[in-house]
Amino acid sequence: MKQKKVSRRGFFKLLGTAGVVGVGATVSGCSNESAGGKGWMPSQYNVPANWPVQVKGRIPIDSNNVSIERDDAKCILCGQCLEVCRNVMSVYGYYELPVKKEVVCINCGQCTLWCPTGAITERQDTAKVLAALDNPAVHVLVQTAPATRVSLGEEFGLPPGSIVQGKQVAALKALGFDAVLDTCFGADLTIMEEASELLERVKQPEHSLPQFTSCCPGWVKFVEYYYPDLMPHLSSCKSPQQMFGAVAKTYYAAKKQISPENIVSVAVMPCTAKKFECQRPEMNAAGVEAKLPAVRDVDIVITTRELAQLLKKRGIDMNGLASAEYDSILGETSGAGIIFGVTGGVMEAAVRTAYHLSTAQDPPDSLLTWNPVRGLQGVKEATADIPGLGTVRVAVCHGLKNARELLAAVREKKAPWQFIEFMACPGGCIGGGGQPRTSLPPTDEVRKARIANLYKLDTALPAKRSSYQNQEIRQVYQEWLKEPLSEEAEALLHTRFVDRSNQLTAKR
């Protein structure tokens, strides 16, 4: 008799239909909480499915999603992706059915960290990187985000949070990149602009307060979907990745005497939403300046996991390499740029520089270890006394379900804060959707290990804890941008946002 193959999903459907309670949940390692009847099936993206309670369903993923993809053969409909998308990110279940124009997704990739079978992954872009590296006609540079230096080692058997900054640089050079540079430079640039914008808003009450951070692309898209009326609160600053990309194809290109169309700009990120961000139509400032609008500021984004795959594919043993230094220019960082990778880090970095911009003095020690904004509490509040500004009240939030509490207060005009940091992913970038799957689902123990070592790298730069102390930042302003918020800086480093609320009907 001819045997018929049964897929994993079909197998668990069969067990569920037979009434074998909790099998799908138990085998997959997921929680046993019943949540059936509300999942989304492959051909049912416009109505809730009606499956047995043991089969919980899954989030919808558009085939055109630039950040994540799913292997249907591996999906067991365990519902873990639903859990994180609904209960941590507050995206799934927060809009009415049927969908209107697109499958709603903020591209954060948290589902890739919770999927027990690896069915959901980042969309692979490693082939594009290899093609660029094998093309002698182009100059291929790479920037690395702060969070990758305390997570990449986990893909090579090292304990969570291990600092591999120098080995990561060496590995990238071994891959053949023409320049290995640091996104932390872009973070320092972001702080110079964002802190200057904050001072301007606080001193001119007609501007929208509180100011929201804008460096997290998942968070930005969330606001565009659900809170377009609050978009004026978003800082106009691009993220560090995109500021770096714009400067790389203008200032760096001029310094190196390379035409921007002959540069391939690669970013190694802890975040799947960065793949979406680099493809936003407006992220071509360098191309516009060069009258080559098709030139993108950042060409390719790969995750921490993808970098590990590349190294293994090329037979590069990162652990066996001697540490190397970032190249110059665009390779210098301050401690403030490094802590961008943790929840509260953007706020702490911004207030350090805001203090200096307001007083022309270095910030006090209390702002160099600003404990009220540190840690994994979902929402944190703090105050900073800054001469010339007075008492600045701030809030810090990570996980977008937590964000809804703060946004409700802002909508109701009951927000006491002047500045709020939002990060989509729990823990900030160190817990991003492109990070190693060291624990399943992600744990605070892993997050804390990564966070602790980013703060350690910050304190390892005692003479350079703040962004304004980065000498390459001073140089780029002197030679190219003039000053924060200048006409040149506005053209390259600032952006606009898109009202996406017509793509869905948000639940009230």
Q: Which of 78, 108, 215, 216 is catalytic?
A: 215
What pLDDT is recorded for position 4? 60
Q: Which of 83, 197, 306, 348 is catalytic?
A: 197
Is residue 215 annotated as part of the catalytic site, yes or no? yes
Is residue 282 annotated as part of the catalytic site, yes or no? yes
Q: Which of 155, 194, 224, 306 is catalytic?
A: 194
What pLDDT is recorded for position 253? 98
What pLDDT is recorded for position 223? 98
Q: Which of 154, 193, 277, 421 is catalytic?
A: 277
Q: Which of 214, 235, 265, 466 is catalytic?
A: 235
Separation CA 502–CA 497 (nearest Å): 14
Contact at 8 Å (CB) between 418 and 393?
yes
What pLDDT is recorded for position 205? 72
Domain with CATH 3.40.50.1780 in the chain: 125-431+450-506
Residue 363: is the preceding peptide bond cis (ω within 30°)?
no
Quickly count: other Cβ atoms within 10 Å of residue 93's Cβ.
12
Residue 329: is the preceding peptide bond cis (ω within 30°)?
yes
Separation CA 74–CA 443 (nearest Å): 23
Is residue 197 annotated as part of the catalytic site, yes or no? yes
Contact at 8 Å (CB) between 411 and 208?
no
Q: Which of 358, 429, 467, 472 is catalytic?
A: 429
Is residue 194 annotated as part of the catalytic site, yes or no? yes
Separation CA 465–CA 60 (nearest Å): 43
Contact at 8 Å (CB) between 137 and 261?
no
What is the chain's pLDDT, residue by residue, as a tens digit (508 residues)? 555 666 655 555 554 444 443 333 333 333 333 333 343 333 333 444 454 546 789 999 999 999 999 999 999 999 999 999 999 999 999 999 888 888 999 999 999 999 999 999 999 999 999 999 999 999 999 999 999 999 999 999 999 999 999 999 999 999 999 999 999 999 999 999 999 999 999 988 777 899 999 999 999 999 999 999 999 999 999 999 999 999 999 999 999 999 999 999 999 999 999 999 999 999 999 999 999 999 999 999 999 999 999 999 999 999 999 999 999 999 999 999 999 999 999 999 999 999 999 999 999 999 999 999 999 999 999 999 999 999 999 999 999 999 999 999 999 999 999 999 999 999 999 999 999 999 998 999 999 999 999 999 999 999 999 999 999 999 999 999 999 999 999 999 999 999 999 999 999 7
Is residue 75 annotated as part of the catalytic site, yes or no? no
pTM of the model: 0.90
Class of domain 60-118: alpha beta
Domain with CATH 3.30.70 in the chain: 60-118
CATH code for the structural domain at 125-431+450-506: 3.40.50.1780
Question: Token pair 């869905």 is at which residue?
Answer: 504
Take residue 319 and report the two structure tokens written for it: 């652990």
DSSP 303-328: EHHHHHHHHHHTT--GGGSPP-PPPS
Tell me the HSE value of 335 on the side-chain side, using a 13 A CA sphere.
Answer: 19
Is residue 235 annotated as part of the catalytic site, yes or no? yes
H/E stretch holding 288 reads helix 285-289
